[in-house]
């Protein structure tokens, strides 16, 4: 079994599709299919059931899946450890980040990293913070740059890089915007536009209201903060957004409430060795915080 075939197998298994796996691996669909067929021939067993466009793991495929993950993780860790011994910053760095952080926090440090370390092959994926968190736990990425979990998993390490101050906002014509100061009890009586349930940001907001025995009146939930900002601007309700998204179309509500601050930063698996490239990237992020 070669690593390329195992990576193709893992991508198809996780994506449930040959075409989506091809997109993830930057390959053509026939190339992915060829690698899967090669692996099935080597093992002399079918790994996927292909019925129309539906792809599912066979019993053998289900048995191979955790072993394939372990094999690829061990190979990556060994390569990182050997690279670390040389002191060289190179190799492949697989990271994942949220769309919001990639747009508003990463451009400058990422540009500096590319200039300083041209020998590093960057593989960057974009997803929701919670999806990345689970992916790090499963060994899918070396490093995640996300909204950090207020209750971190015992097997994961976290490092806060930025503090994201969240602001209560509403449309300029909204009744809440007409008041001098607003308390949480008043906010709870108006429709809110918030991130989806089971997200780190939503849990932070809910925790603040729950501390005063208040329930939220949630009119709409989405993890697209730009969509929330647009909905707020046309008067559909109030929300709480990071200061990087505040513009002239919405107004900050002056509240007497304790500021809501979420931590943005890096997360990695405690049982995996961080490569020199990952450590160098984290150092640059830390410097961007100070700069």
20-52 pLDDT, tens digit per residue, is: 899 888 899 999 999 999 999 999 999 999 887
Structural domain includes residue 237? yes
pLDDT band at 290 (very low <50, low <70, confident <90, very high): low
Structural domain includes residue 3? yes
pLDDT of 214 above 80: yes
Average pLDDT over residues 184-193: 92
**More confidently predicted of 116 and 85:** 116
Count CA within 13 A, CB hemisphere, residue 233: 12
The rounded distance, in Å, linking the Cα atoms of 65 and 118 is 34
Last residue of a domain, one of 30, 47, 69: 69
C-alpha distances in angstroms, 289 versus 15, 161, 166, 181?
35, 6, 17, 31
Average pLDDT over residues 146-153: 91
What pLDDT is recorded for position 84?
A: 63
Structural domain includes residue 175? yes
pLDDT band at 151 (very low <50, low <70, confident <90, very high): confident
**More confidently predicted of 192 and 224:** 192
pLDDT band at 86 (very low <50, low <70, confident <90, very high): low
Has this prediction a pTM greater than 0.75? no
Quote the number of domains for the chain.
2
Q: Which parts of the chain are beta strand (E)?
A: 48-51, 54-57, 91-97, 120-126, 143-147, 156-170, 192-194, 218-221, 239-242, 251-252, 260-269
CATH number at residue 239: 3.40.190.10
Structural domain includes residue 56? yes
CATH number at residue 30: 1.10.10.10
Structural domain includes residue 271? no
C-alpha distances in angstroms, 287 versus 147, 168, 281, 283, 290?
18, 29, 10, 6, 5
Average pLDDT over residues 107-127: 92
Structural domain includes residue 198? yes
pLDDT of 85 above 70: no
What pLDDT is recorded for position 83?
A: 67
Structural domain includes residue 280? no
Q: What percent of the chain has pLDDT over 70?
A: 97
Last residue of a domain, one of 69, 96, 116: 69
Average model confidence (pLDDT) across the chain: 89
Average pLDDT over residues 263-289: 89
pLDDT of 291 above 80: no
What pLDDT is recorded for position 29?
A: 92
Structural domain includes residue 242? yes
Domain that holds residue 248: 164-262
pLDDT of 60 above 70: yes
**Proportion of the chain in helix, strand, coil states, percent, rounded to 5:** 45, 25, 30
Which of 32-36, 61-65, 80-84 has the least mean pLDDT?
80-84
Alpha helices in 198-251 (DSSP H): 200-210, 225-233
Virtual torsion, Cα 282, 284, 287, 289, nearest 10 deg: -70
């Amino acid at each position: 079994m070669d690593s390329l075939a195992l990576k193709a197998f893992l991508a198809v298994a996780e994506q449930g599709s040959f075409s989506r796996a091809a997109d993830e691996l930057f390959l053509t669909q026939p190339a992915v299919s060829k690698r899967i067929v090669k692996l099935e021939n080597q093992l002399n067993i079918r790994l996927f059931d292909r019925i129309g466009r539906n792809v599912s793991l066979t019993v053998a495929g289900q048995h191979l899946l955790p072993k394939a993950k372990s094999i690829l993780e061990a190979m990556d860790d060994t390569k990182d450890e050997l690279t670390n011994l040389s002191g060289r910053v190179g190799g492949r760095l697989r990271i994942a980040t949220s769309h919001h952080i990639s747009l508003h926090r990463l451009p400058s440090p990422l540009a500096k990293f590319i200039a300083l370390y041209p020998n590093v092959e960057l593989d960057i994926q974009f997803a929701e913070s919670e999806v990345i968190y689970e992916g790090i736990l499963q060994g899918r990425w070396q490093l995640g740059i996300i909204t950090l979990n207020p209750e971190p998993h015992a097997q994961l390490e976290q490092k806060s890089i930025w503090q994201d101050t969240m602001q209560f906002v509403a449309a300029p014509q909204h009744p809440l915007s007409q008041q001098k100061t607003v308390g949480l009890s008043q906010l709870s009586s108006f429709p809110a536009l918030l991130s989806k349930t089971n997200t780190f940001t939503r849990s932070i907001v809910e925790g603040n209201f729950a501390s005063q025995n208040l329930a939220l009146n949630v009119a709409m939930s989405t993890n697209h903060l730009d969509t929330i900002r647009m909905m707020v601007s046309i008067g559909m309700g109030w929300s709480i957004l990071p200061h990087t998204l505040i513009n002239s179309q919405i107004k900050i509500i002056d509240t007497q409430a304790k500021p809501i601050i979420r931590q943005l930063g890096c997360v990695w698996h405690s049982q995996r060795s961080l490569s020199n490239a990952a450590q160098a990237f984290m150092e640059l992020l830390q410097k961007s915080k100070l700069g």
